[in-house]
Amino acid sequence: MNNWKNFTKGFIKENPVLIMLLGCCPTLGTTTSAINGLSMGLATTFVLVCSNIVISLIKNLIPDKVRIPSYIVVIASFVTVIDLLMQAYLPGIYETLGLFIPLIVVNCIVLGRAEAFASKNGVWASCVDGLGMGLGYALALMILGAVREILGSLSIFGWQFIQADGILVFVLAPGAFFGLAYFIAVVRRFNK
Amino acid sequence: MAKKQSSLINMVLTLFVITTVAAVALGFVYYFTKEPIDNVKKEKLANALKEVLPEFDSITAKDKIPFEWDKKLDTVPVFKVSKGDTQVGTAVEVITHKGFGGDVKLLVGFDNDGRIFGYSVLEHKETAGLGSKMGTWFNDTARQSSYVKGRDLKDYKDGIKVSKDDKDGIDAITAATISSRAFCDALNKAYAVYVNTVGSCVSTDTLIIKDDLKCDTLTNVSTIRKTDENSIEVTFKEEGGQDNE
């Protein structure tokens, strides 16, 4: 029951992007299309789950004063792992996202969950928390990406449904701000 | 288990152990993904070559040609391919620094007559949905004003450029003029390298000379130098004589 709560809170109640406003930099940068947003979200989920598990395992072995550098080393290692794995097995997605993958290291969500949750809870709970937060993040990124793709290039998941040019601004960086702002507003309205 | 104390020795030891374990783990992952990553790169290049060149069965030459463009020295990979014993085309891999989001890497294929046979965008950081259309935009038969295949760049005196007029160049990608200009720059550079290495510099009257050209492929000509707007200077290798046109 408690685990279920841990898992679902990442989707709406404590959604990293929409409620906690964490990790906005990659959110704005990678959501030019639905598939990019989804891939970035899943890559972050992988890192979150792995780092949460490892950090909850070693939390008692790390002296308090060096816990942040230790967490960052763990997180950076997993980011490098997924960077290499994507280069090797998902070259297509790596081409568009490659630039943003190393930035997962400094994504506040990952360190935030390590500090706020994994360093205080057990392995299983941390794993569930990482998965929930990660998937919530991926979902938010995918929806934002889809909205920008629909409005900006009149396509969805790469499938063009009208042969015309969309509203250009939504493909560019300002469109990310517009999209995210309205998205947050809507979620806040229904979350009350 | 109680939390470890933050004594100096504890902190140093912990960080040392964590970084060591991380380094070893990453070493392993790197080792196991190195081969697939190299394969992906090779495969990508091989597919791109197939796309931009006429049907071929062997790559006869693969050189890195030093080439100067915009006053910067660059090494440009050139691939010459043949079917059976006859050479059927040449592909040039160029990088232009004029892209909207950074460098654009393009593979341009030329047939034996020096016409563009095809192109492939190998790497780019152009805006998604705008400049990123580069890969298909100039390859669409439905849009003749920006279709590059079959064009001979020697028809364009100052190089191909972005223009509404078919005679001067190609129509730009809607809302991505800078990316289109970068594309033209890459084509011009590729053509210059092609002319330089293949030695179709025989038809010097229509040649676009951006810089001094070295013609190793012509037996007795060593360099063709542009002296002013309308004349060039040809230096011969053996005789050492000069010929002004």
Encode pLDDT of B23-68 as tens digits: 999 999 999 999 998 898 888 888 888 888 888 887 776 777 777 7
CA–CA separation, A161 and A159 (whole Å) = 6
Residue with tokens 């889809």: A146
Pairing of strands B169-170, B213-214: unpaired
Kindly report the CA angle at B222 between B221 and B226, in degrees rounded to 5? 95
Cβ of B14 within 8 Å of Cβ of A74? The answer is no
Does the ipTM surpass 0.85? no
**Cα separation values, B101 from B1, B12, B63, B182, Å:** 52, 43, 28, 10
Measured over the CA atoms of residue B76, residue B140, residue B60 and residue B217, the dihedral's sign is: negative
Cβ of A36 within 8 Å of Cβ of B128? The answer is yes
Cβ of A64 within 8 Å of Cβ of B10? The answer is no
Classify residue A66 by its DSSP letter.
Answer: G
Q: Show me where the domains of chain B are located.
A: 48-202, 213-244
pLDDT at B127 over 80: no
Q: Which of B108, B133, B132, B136 is nearest to B193 (CA)?
A: B108
Q: Which of B140, B12, B211, B243 is nearest to A69 (CA)?
A: B12
- Strand ranges inside chain A, DSSP E: 155-156, 159-160
pTM, 2 dp = 0.71
CA–CA separation, A14 and A6 (whole Å) = 10
- Which residues in chain A touch residue B18, judged by CB atoms under 8 angstroms apart? 58, 62, 70, 73-74
Tell me the average pLDDT of chain B: 77
Q: Please give the radius of gyration of chain B, using alpha carbons only, rounded to the nearest integer.
A: 24
pLDDT of residue B243: 46
Q: Which of A152, A11, A93 is nearest to B129 (CA)?
A: A152
pLDDT at B236 over 60: no
Q: Tell me how crowded residue B77 is: count the other CB atoms within 10 A of its CB.
A: 15
DSSP 3-state of B14: helix
Question: For the ranges A21-25, A128-132, A180-184, which has the lowest average pLDDT?
Answer: A21-25
Q: Choose among A32, A61, A66: nearest Cβ to B129.
A: A32
Q: How many helices (H) and strands (E) does chain B have?
A: 3, 11
Q: Show me where the domains of chain A are located.
A: 2-145
Report which secondary-structure segment, H or E, holds B83. strand B72-83
Classify residue A98 by its DSSP letter.
Answer: T
Inform me whether the C-beta atom of residue A81 falls under 8 Å from chain B C-beta atoms: yes
Cβ of B123 within 8 Å of Cβ of A89? The answer is no
Angle, helices A67-89 vs B8-52, to 10°: value is 20
